[in-house]
Amino acid sequence: MSRRTLRGLLALPALGVLGAILAWGASGLAPFGHFHGFYGQLLNAIALPQRHTTNTVTAIVFDYRGLDTMGEELILFAAVVGVVLLLREAGHPTQQDIARDRVHSEALRYFGVAGAALVVLVGVWLVAFGLVTPGGGFQGGVTIASGVVVLFLTAGYRSWRRLASEHALDPLEATGAAAYITLGLATLIAGAPFLHNFLGPGKTGTLFSGGSMSLLNWAVALEVAAANLVLYTEFLQQYVVSLVPDTGEE
């Protein structure tokens, strides 16, 4: 039998043992629905009076556990740097390749631009209202990036490249990452703890209810959107390079 089937047959008992260990571990947890963790209940009760944000999850991401968010953001940054380095040598599309990626339907192009604008607007709304209703920097950032990439899908590679060129995106991404760290360091230099909420809690239910959480929110949104767009740029370059001439196969 081939090596692959041998590997598969050897893996089954090993995975069975792993599954048994996981099941034994899970049996030590509280039954589903009876969570007794104290930290979460405490944060639910005090996040609104203390920070004046109605969305407790965003308050945790940007205030109570802001340090973890900085770590996650830097993982994002490092992974995108890795992708760019790996795919830089992999070939750039020529003018001929770019000319092949054309969308032939005018209606699709116009409705696509309108749709892209709508999705970007929804993304900006998600970021802005992240402290009040479900949303926040991460969700809004990926939505903005997906709205911009709709332009590629409906208007062709050339139009998309005009909007999402590398010269524009790289500084934006770096600005987002640096802004988060700078905001934290600024409070450290001023004598307060790192990433301290220096603007103080605002009025509940408004856009500025979190103080400096809003600034961190926008920094993360900028960084996540730009990082995702850089990622899409690299991969779509690979896609356009591999388009074959119009012999019927596309």
Partner 1 sequence: MIAVVLVLAALAATAVALCLDPLRQIVLSGMYGLLLVILFVVLQAPDVALSMLVVTTVAYPLIVLAAIRRTRR
Partner 2 sequence: MHYLPYGVAAWIFCVGIYGAIVSRNLIHLAMCLAVTQSSTYILLLTIGYRKHGTAPVFKGFENRTRGVDPVVQALTLTDIVVSVTVIALILALALDAHRAAGTVDPDELVGLHG
What is the closest distance, in whole angstroms, from the C-beta atom of residue 46 to partner 2 in the complex?
Answer: 9
Residues in region 194-233 near partner 1 by CB under 8 A: 228, 231-232
Q: How far is the CB of 35 from partner 2 (least distance, A)?
A: 5
Whether 98 and 158 have beta carbons less than 8 Å apart is answered as yes
Which two structure tokens, joined as six digits, stand for 112? 């696509």
| 174 part of the interface to partner 1, by CB under 8 A | no
Is 128 a binding residue for partner 1 by CB under 8 A? The answer is no
CA distance 194 to 192: 7
Nearer of residues 183 and 229 to partner 1, judged by Cβ: 229
Binding mask 56-85 for partner 2 (x = CB under 8 A): xx--xx---x--xx--x--xx--xx-xx--
Query: Among 219, 227, 221, 224, which Cα is nearest to 183's?
Result: 219
Q: Are 80 and 73 in contact (CB under 8 A)?
A: no
Site for partner 2 in 117-156 (CB under 8 A): 132-134, 136, 138-139, 141-142
- Closer residue to partner 1 (CB): 199 or 244: 244
| # binding residues, partner 1 (CB under 8 A) | 24
Question: Where on the phi/psi map is residue 91: left (φ > 0), alpha (ψ -120 to 50), or beta?
Answer: left
Per the listing, tokens 């999402």 go with: 164
Q: Which two tokens stand for residue 121?
A: 């607007």
What SS3 state is found at 205? coil
40-48, 51-59, 187-195, 211-219 -> range binding partner 1 (CB under 8 A) = 51-59
Interface with partner 1, residue 94, by CB under 8 A = no
Q: Is 186 helix (H, G, I), strand (E, B) or coil?
A: helix
In angstroms, the CA 166 to CA 162 distance is 10
136 binds partner 1 (CB under 8 A): yes
Q: Which stretch binds partner 1 (CB under 8 A): 20-28, 39-47, 50-58, 170-178?
A: 50-58
- Residues in 146-165 at the binding interface with partner 1, rule: CB under 8 A: 146, 149
Residue 188, Cβ neighbours under 10 Å: how many?
A: 13
CA neighbor of 131 nearest in space, from 40, 224, 202, 219: 202
Please state, in angstroms and rounded to a whole number, the distance separating the CA atoms of residues 228 and 250.
26
- The pair of three-digit structure tokens given for residue 78, joined into one six-digit string: 């490092």
For partner 1, the closer of residues 165 and 238 by Cβ is: 238
Binding site for partner 2 (CB under 8 A): 3-4, 7-8, 11-12, 15, 18-19, 22-23, 26-27, 29, 31-35, 37, 39-41, 43-45, 47-48, 54-57, 60-61, 65, 68-69, 72, 75-76, 79-80, 82-83, 86-87, 90, 132-134, 136, 138-139, 141-142, 205, 224, 227-228, 231, 234-235, 238
